[in-house]
């Protein structure tokens, strides 16, 4: 095994260019805290080279959002609707199964617009077919189904975003979700959020502050989700293009607490935080199925206290996110 460290002023010999790494399995890059090849695409989860399929392609939701994704510039290479394989839709091929789609298009990303009773099966089908990033938009998947799906994909080489989420977008490159694309402009701030609407609001503020977005990840508001707040923060912490992270959470659960403790111990980048649900009464679900305070440590006040203790720049109003990011980054 040959370890190769790449430094800023170092120009690697042609034999070590990334395009050849797959042919040289004995070479391992030591990841530096910067982008060694600034001319190559570097992003979190998705980029302009991602090949996307739509599960539930021909339905009304799939059709509408696939159209928006294509207009944004996303490489939508086809879709899946059982019973309609062999047809075309939006000038893209329709396949019977995800496996068929992957074999024909080399797709590596999937977005799911499938009714709740069948969505967990759609997640597992995508994972089994070799999809690397699975974005599940569907809300209301039975908890029992999601327990099964999450356990099934645990041993697979894939990342699940959602369910009940707006998706993921790498600004000016690839939109895999239902967010308004025009809000997101290229920049240096990463966003991880439980709330779809607050994702768009934070992005708009950051863009108007002149900083822009690298990638925004809406992790979803259901009790059982694929990628947690911590895991999303870790992706941004390891992304050379992201200089600051906006972390938007809400009442209920302890995802933000886990992330805050990891940030304190490991993250050198500034993190700006907000917790929604300050005025929510204890024991009542607020909007998302996972947004329910069942213990003292799950309230907005308790979470914000821990986040501040961990060095996160916490704001009390979502209207202050953009200004705080600009202040922190100077």
Could you give the residue numbers annotated as active site? 288
The four Cα atoms 308, 312, 313, 314 give a dihedral, to 10 degrees, of -50
Cα angle value 262/231/298 (rounded, 5°): 65
CB environment 161-197: b (16+ within 10 A), e (fewer): bbbbbbbbbbbbbbbbbbbebebbbebbbbbbbbbbe
End-to-end CA distance of the chain: 43
Phi-psi region of 238 (alpha: psi -120 to 50; beta: other; left: phi over 0): alpha
Q: How does DSSP assign 242-301, residue by residue?
A: --EEEEEEESSSSHHHHHHHHHHHH--S-EEEEEE-TTPPTT---SSTT----SGGGSHH
């Amino acid at each position: 095994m040959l370890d190769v460290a790449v430094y800023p002023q170092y120009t690697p010999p042609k034999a070590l260019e990334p395009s050849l790494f797959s042919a040289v399995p004995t070479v391992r890059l030591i990841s530096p805290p910067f982008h060694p090849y600034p001319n190559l695409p570097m992003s979190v989860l998705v980029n302009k080279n991602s090949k996307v399929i739509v599960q539930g392609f021909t339905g009304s939701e799939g059709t509408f959002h696939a159209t928006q994704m294509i207009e944004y510039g996303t490489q939508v290479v086809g879709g899946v609707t059982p019973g309609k394989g062999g047809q075309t839709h939006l000038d893209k091929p329709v396949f019977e199964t995800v496996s068929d789609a992957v074999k024909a298009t080399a797709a590596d990303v999937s977005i799911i617009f499938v009714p709740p009773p069948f969505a967990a099966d759609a997640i597992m089908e995508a994972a089994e077919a070799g999809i690397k990033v699975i974005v599940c938009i569907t809300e209301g998947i039975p908890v029992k189904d999601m327990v099964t799906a999450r356990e099934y994909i645990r041993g697979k080489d894939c990342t699940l975003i959602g369910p009940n989420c707006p998706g993921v977008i790498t600004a000016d490159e690839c939109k895999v979700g239902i967010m308004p694309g025009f809000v997101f402009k290229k920049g240096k701030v990463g966003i991880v959020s439980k709330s779809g609407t607050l994702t768009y609001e934070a992005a708009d503020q950051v863009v108007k502050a002149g900083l822009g977005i690298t990638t925004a990840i809406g992790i979803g508001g259901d009790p059982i989700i694929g990628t947690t707040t911590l895991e999303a923060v870790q992706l941004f912490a390891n992304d050379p293009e992201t200089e600051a992270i906006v972390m938007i959470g809400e009442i209920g659960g302890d995802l933000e607490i886990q992330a805050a403790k990891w940030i304190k111990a490991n993250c050198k980048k500034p993190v700006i935080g907000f917790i929604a649900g300050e005025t929510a009464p204890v024991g009542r679900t607020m909007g998302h199925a996972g947004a329910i305070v069942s213990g003292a440590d799950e309230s907005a006040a308790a979470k914000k206290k821990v986040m501040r203790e961990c060095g996160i720049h916490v704001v009390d109003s979502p209207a202050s996110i953009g200004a705080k990011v600009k202040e922190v980054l100077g």
